[in-house]
Amino acid sequence: MTSTDIPVHQRFNAHELFLQADRLEPCVLVIFGAAGDLTRRKLIPALYNLVHEQALDEHFAVIGYSRRPQSDEQYRAILFNGLKNYSRSQPIDDGVWQAFSKRISYVEGNFEDPEGYVALRGALEAVEQLIGSEGNRLFYFATPPSAAPVLLHRLSEAGLLQPGGAETPWTRVIMEKPYGRDLESASELNRIVAEVLQEDQVYRIDHYLGKETVQNILVARLGNTIFEPLWNRKYIDHIQITAAESIGVEGRGRFYDKTGVIRDMVQSHLLQVLSLCAMEPPVSFAADDIRDKRVEVLRSLRQFSSQEVLEHLVFGQYRGYRDEENVDPQSRTPTYAAIKCYVDNWRWQGVPFFLRVGKHLVQRMTEISVVFRPVPLCLFGRDDVCQDLEPNVLTIRIQPDEGMALKISSKRPGGEMEVGSVEMDFSYSETYTHPIKDAYERLLLDAVKGDATLFARRDEVEFAWRFVTPILDHWESAAKRQPVFYAEGSEGPGEADKLMDRYNRQWREIN
């Protein structure tokens, strides 16, 4: 079928979506958790870069809301310091910051106290008047999951949650991960959300979905004809997904010790990446068509029994973790996990997915490696040549060296029949001059535009929790079981290699 064979109404839909995406309505962003790390390190730098590139203009303003008493000026000064340290584009353009910072104001209030919301309402109306934003409001919960219910109740009681996520004036809410602590609390949070908001007003953020290279997974699969026919159990031996970080908990001990790697990284980021690798092609790129397919993968993830958790998972902890500030000196919280799991559907039956994620590893490296099956028969005669034949591997490098590589076999030059592995490599930095934007830039802009494609839907978070909750239950009830300790700067615990050995596979090197 050529593109002209596509029925007219479908072509028109795609065009319409594009037009919608291009139209940006004025709005005010209210950040709860305005004094927190996420705001300083990620949100304000992302907004500054959007303003710098003129994606956001003078019809956009920010109100920070938190408990700390401070003036607008003091708040802006703190944000400016964060910007100097964390903005991807440097140096900071003073003119741009000065103009933008005038549209950032601060409201002091705690999450419980209705008085704070009265003050917030006053500030919102004044800013809306000033920038002509006509009541479009975006609330960002840059807070721990436990704060979400009270924020929703108080906002609703204060009359600040108007119905409507699409028609103007709109109200949308961005909610940070982790969305709940387990299946029960996530379902309960979804229930509370549904009492005060419609689903199209809710933007559950997982910043991995906003990464350029994570979006490239679908383009690599569906924008090329050569991969998709091979993308199944017939040709793929296994898939490895690695998210290695070189940093530790970075002063977030209090949060991390209660959270651990399964809630912090697996439930959200890793399962989203897995879904994009394993999902069926959607009927279109509209938000719900893509989300439907991601959800199908999460639904198909085989759930672990307690015995299987023992067999298929490795929990690790870096050696210095217990000495980190605000971490329990006896803590069992895992900072590393290796998991072998299965997607039980027609396409993937029997193909293991190996996930590996951890802090304080030798290097920062997030990648997906699709390891293909060996050739059915080696025709090159001698045994030693056949032993040199390695399987094809397609690697999608998410970060930091963004790109893709395909390992293939080729004849070594010379009279003898000798075979070696070579790599075809595409690197973003060598191919494109355009800088790779931070994921939060893309996601904040999408939320302002009303495009929820890269955000998790209600059922999506619940199915992800359904998979990880038995893992957490097992770990949290096995009080005597200690994580395996690994050296900082290593590739993780040796037990993770043994997990692979048991299935005659090998992790790719973290380098």
Which residues are the active-site residues? 269
Q: Which is nearer to ligand BG6, 195 or 250 (CB)?
A: 250
* 3-state SS assignment for residue 65: strand
Q: How far is the CB of 264 from ligand BG6 (least distance, A)?
A: 5
Cα(381)–Cα(447) distance, rounded to whole angstroms? 59
Site string for ligand BG6, 66-85 (x = CB under 6 A): --------------------
Q: How far is CA 434 from CA 49, 309, 314, 454, in A?
A: 14, 44, 39, 21
Q: How many residues does the chain have?
A: 511
Q: Which two tokens stand for residue 333?
A: 């919280």
Q: Which is nearer to ligand BG6, 128 or 264 (CB)?
A: 264
84 touches 42 (CB < 8 A):
no
Cα(249)–Cα(377) distance, rounded to whole angstroms? 48
Q: Which is nearer to ligand BG6, 185 or 268 (CB)?
A: 268
Question: β-strand 484-486 against 236-244: which pairing, if any?
Answer: unpaired
Is residue 264 annotated as involved in ligand binding? yes
Q: Which is nearer to ligand BG6, 101 or 366 (CB)?
A: 366
Indicate whether 264 belongs to the interface with ligand BG6 (CB under 6 A).
Answer: yes
Is residue 257 annotated as involved in ligand binding? no
407 touches 421 (CB < 8 A):
yes
Q: How far is the CB of 337 from ligand BG6 (least distance, A)?
A: 13
Nearest to 309 by CA among 481, 184, 492, 464: 481
Is residue 191 annotated as involved in ligand binding? no
Phi, psi of 223 (to 5 degrees): -100, 0
Q: How far is the CB of 109 from ligand BG6 (least distance, A)?
A: 26
313 touches 339 (CB < 8 A):
yes
Cα(41)–Cα(251) distance, rounded to whole angstroms? 13
Cα(439)–Cα(174) distance, rounded to whole angstroms? 14
Indicate whether 257 belongs to the interface with ligand BG6 (CB under 6 A).
Answer: no
Cα(209)–Cα(311) distance, rounded to whole angstroms? 30
408 touches 424 (CB < 8 A):
yes
Q: Which is nearer to ligand BG6, 101 or 267 (CB)?
A: 267
* 3-state SS assignment for residue 173: strand
Q: Which is nearer to ligand BG6, 245 or 367 (CB)?
A: 245
Q: Which two tokens stand for residue 315?
A: 């929990």
Q: Which is nearer to ligand BG6, 313 or 365 (CB)?
A: 365
Cα(243)–Cα(256) distance, rounded to whole angstroms? 17
Nearest to 112 by CA among 149, 72, 160, 70: 149
Q: Of the candidates 212, 245, 324, 367, which one interacts with ligand BG6 according to CB under 6 A?
A: 245
Indicate whether 460 belongs to the interface with ligand BG6 (CB under 6 A).
Answer: no
Q: Which residue sits closest to ligand BG6, CB atoms considered?
A: 264
Site string for ligand BG6, 344-373 (x = CB under 6 A): ----------------------x-------
* Residues contacting ligand BG6: total by CB under 6 A: 3
Cα(427)–Cα(477) distance, rounded to whole angstroms? 45
Q: Which residues are annotated as a binding site?
A: 67, 177, 207, 211, 245, 264, 359
Q: Which residues are annotated as a binding site for substrate?
A: 207, 211, 245, 264, 359
Q: Which residues are annotated as a binding site for NADP(+)?
A: 67, 177
Binding residues for ligand BG6 (CB under 6 A): 245, 264, 366
